[in-house]
Amino acid sequence: MKLIVHQLLRHGAEVLEIRLRHPQGQVLPPWSAGAHLRLQLPVADGQWLERHYSLIGTEGAAEEYRIAVLLDPASRGGSRWIHQQLVSGQALDVEGPFDSFPLQAEQGRTVLVAGGIGITPMHAMAHALNNRGQPFELHYLARSEERLVLLDELRALPNARLHLHVGAKPPALDALLGPFSPGASLHACGPSPLLNGLREHSAGLGWPISSVHFESFGARTQQGDRPIRVHLAQSSMVVDVQPGTSILDALIAADAFVAYDCKRGECGQCHSRVLDGSPVHRDVCLNPAQRAEGLCICVGWASSESLTLDL
């Protein structure tokens, strides 16, 4: 559907909130906390980029959708285009909302953890829990106070116990999580090192995997990544992959048969057995045994020049 940029609001130097409305002012399809929109961005002549952004605010049917976009220094064009080119009144191609990260809180202790711009789905979950009358903890981590956004709205939620963790050093995750208690749930969104830390510490404290829910974000390409040659053992294909393109996308483009779902290292659907080479893991879903055997090719990379997959 086409939606119109109704308003652009700056939150600090790095985050831009976008409010989208129907061109004729119709009420928009309802959404649930944790849902995201898929935007098609016309970044250059004939070139489009697809980007996903979590909805913020109060779930349900409403006259506008709100998203908040961080200007990513490693941007391949999406967030930079939004911050520098998008103007009020512009029409955007929008798909969704998609329920990618549903809130699964019972009546027990409810813990939300947000790292940086990972506050966006947590902002929606905080509003949903608050409106249900359910008390919850929200731990919000940021490198500096200027990077904390949407704080006024969060502070206004009476059922929220807001904990701000500001600084380059992450908080002690054992203390933040505490031991598991029946009915407790953890939802977290942030960069993969934070989520990997939460996954390890929660397992060590007895949190069952069914009570732990993650959504990751962030540029998975890292400086220093080099091109890799991927050999597919079963189909005898060879695909060269450049940094900036995921192995999965390169294989899809080459018409290889691959399974996938989230494309964000969260679901494990794209886990592929590695027969040769040195994989670099950037997912947030695999356990050590799965990592020893294979790689999530939607986010993973290799430190070797080539990688042979059992595909």
- Given the rule CB under 6 A, which residues bind ligand FES? 260-263, 265-270, 283, 285, 296, 298
Nearer to ligand FES, 200 or 261 (CB): 261
Q: In the chain, what are the helix, strand and coil shares in percent, each to the nearest 5?
A: 20, 35, 40
Minimum distance, C-beta of residue 269 to ligand FES, in the bound complex (Å): 5
| Cβ atoms < 10 Å from Cβ of 233 | 13
Shortest Å distance, C-beta 227 to ligand FES = 21
Q: In the complex with ligand FES, which residue's Cβ is closer, 19 or 271? A: 271
**What sign for the dihedral angle of Cα 100, 194, 126, 205?**
positive
CB of 42 to ligand FES, least distance (A): 26
Q: Residue 306 in contact with residue 228, Cβ under 8 Å?
A: yes
Find the distance separating the first CA and the last CA of the chain, reported in whole Å. 37
**Distance in Å, CB of 155 to ligand FES, minimum:** 35
150 DSSP 8-state letter: S
Nearer to ligand FES, 160 or 198 (CB): 198
**Rounded least distance, CB 249 to ligand FES, Å:** 11
136, 187, 228, 273, 292 from 234: Cα distances, Å: 49, 38, 19, 11, 20
Q: Which is nearer to ligand FES, 120 or 246 (CB)?
A: 246
Alpha-carbon Rg for the chain, nearest whole angstrom, is 20
When the beta carbons of 56 and 299 are compared against ligand FES, the nearer one is 299
Q: Tell me whether the omega of the peptide bond preceding residue 97 falls within 30 degrees of 0, making it cis.
A: yes
CB of 238 to ligand FES, least distance (A): 21
129 or 284: whose CB is closer to ligand FES?
284
Distance CA 246, CA 307 (A): 13
Q: Helix or strand or coil: residue 104?
A: coil
Q: Are 35 and 54 in contact (CB under 8 A)?
A: yes
Distances (CA, A) of 296 to 180, 182, 300: 28, 31, 6
Nearest approach, Cβ of residue 195 and ligand FES (Å): 13
Sign, CA torsion 148/29/61/188? negative
Please, what is the minimum distance in Å from the beta carbon of residue 191 to ligand FES?
16
Give 37 or 262: the residue with its C-beta nearer to ligand FES: 262
Of 119 and 285, which has the nearer Cβ to ligand FES? 285
